[in-house]
Amino acid sequence: MAQSYSLFVARESFVHRLNPLTKLTLTGLLLVSGLFLPGIWTNYLLFVGIVLPLSAAAGVTKQLVRSAWKIVLPFAISLFLIQGFLWPGGTPILYVGPLSLKSEGLQFAVVSTGRILMIVSSFLWFSLTTRPDHLMNSLSRIGFPSNLAYVIVATIQIAPRFQSRAATILDAQRARGLETEGSLRTRARALVPLVIPLVLSSLIDVEERALAVEARAFNRQGPKTFLIELPEAAWEPAARWFMVVLMVSILGLRVYLAITRWRS
């Protein structure tokens, strides 16, 4: 597999050897825990206590932290500025000219940033440690609809594929003498020669991938054979069911707390 077309980083680690379904279930558990468990610092504790150790065990901590930082930081800055200073009412803790920083707005920003961090880091950990073809293979083996499995895998690959293709087009246009650096006007002028080839090549790529999957009998009904055999430890199916039970329990706890709060 071309690594440039996915976030996957090849490593010889225990995490990489796990079945993709086990890692997918764990990712779902992390997301459910981060979104529905109460507490201001819950997501940060999950990130430090689970996501970072898992990424360290897989040897992808550097890639995960770098990518998560680039994605989460803009959201965090906007949340703290907008919610902190423009929160209606609230308790002021700092005055900056006519504006005041509200403690309730800061609390909301902390919780929201933690949720974004958990969503981004969970998906990054899964993508960095799981080959897309292995994931599709695993989903097909359990009877998951092929069309949905393809959509999931294509979604995981879309950003790396666009990034790789954009870099190739940028290098090609620079080799032809196109100026892509300098003033804002120069960069804006170079945008069209970059965007048009990117869009056209993406459309061609979609058609080529559609022909490729049809040539491999993608929509064939009945039992299928697989070229790749994915090993699975004996404890993994039980672990997946245990994580599913935990997810249901967390959702049940969230519903119970909501009902209790509504009655009071």
DSSP 11-47: --SHHHHS-HHHHHHHHHHHHHHHHHS--SSHHHHHI
What pLDDT is recorded for position 152? 73
Q: How far does Cα 175 stand from its chain's mean position?
A: 34
Question: Residue 93 carries which DSSP code?
Answer: E
What pLDDT is recorded for position 3? 44
- Tens of pLDDT along the chain (264 residues) come to 344 457 888 898 999 999 999 999 999 999 999 999 888 999 999 999 999 999 999 999 999 999 999 999 999 999 998 988 888 887 888 888 788 888 898 999 999 999 999 999 999 999 999 988 888 888 878 877 777 777 777 777 676 666 677 777 777 777 877 776 767 677 677 777 777 777 777 777 666 766 666 666 666 666 666 667 788 889 999 999 999 999 999 999 989 888 888 877
What pLDDT is recorded for position 166? 74
- Tell me the DSSP string of 138-177: HHHHTT--HHHHHHHHHHHHHHHHHHHHHHHHHHHHHHTT
- For the record, the structure tokens of 37 come out as 């468990």
